[in-house]
């Protein structure tokens, strides 16, 4: 399993655990928004008083890897497994640079 970094940008709802919004930036610079429980993105306990933005991660699987025409390693990641995380529009696959990923 891998993780890709995100920025936790705001508190959404008081819940147990709290619900927050985070942003993933893909290889094209597109920002993808996710809303889910804080525990999906960070081990920290967050609330409305937390100081945003904060770093976080989304767990993912690498679907495909390649080297682009500029020599950069890219990949398609899928956030459906292991935690069934999707962007607000339902998308679960994203193209990112391979060096954005960390092993979990």
The pLDDT of residue 16: 86
Q: State which residues form the domain around 20.
A: 2-103
Considering the chain, what percentage of its residues have pLDDT values greater than 90?
A: 96
10 in Cβ contact with 35 (< 8 Å):
no
pLDDT average, residue stretch 6-33: 97
Backbone φ, ψ for residue 99 (5° rounding): -75, -5
pLDDT in tens, 35-55: 999 999 999 999 999 999 999
pLDDT in tens, 48-97: 999 999 999 999 999 999 999 999 999 999 999 999 999 999 999 999 99
Which residue has tokens 């979990």? 104
Domain count, the chain: 1
Residues whose CB is less than 8 angstroms from the CB of residue 73 and which lie 6 or more positions away in sequence, other chains included: 65, 66, 67, 97, 98, 99
């Amino acid at each position: 399993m891998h993780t890709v970094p995100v920025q936790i940008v705001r508190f959404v709802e008081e819940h147990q655990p709290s619900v927050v919004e985070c942003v993933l930036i893909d290889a094209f610079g597109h920002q993808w928004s996710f809303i889910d429980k804080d525990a999906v993105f960070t081990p920290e306990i967050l609330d409305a008083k937390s100081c945003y933005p904060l770093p976080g991660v989304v767990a993912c699987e690498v679907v495909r890897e390649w080297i682009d025409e500029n020599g950069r390693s890219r990949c398609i990641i899928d956030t459906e497994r292991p935690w069934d995380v999707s962007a607000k529009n339902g998308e679960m696959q994203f193209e990112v640079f391979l060096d954005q990923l960390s092993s979990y």
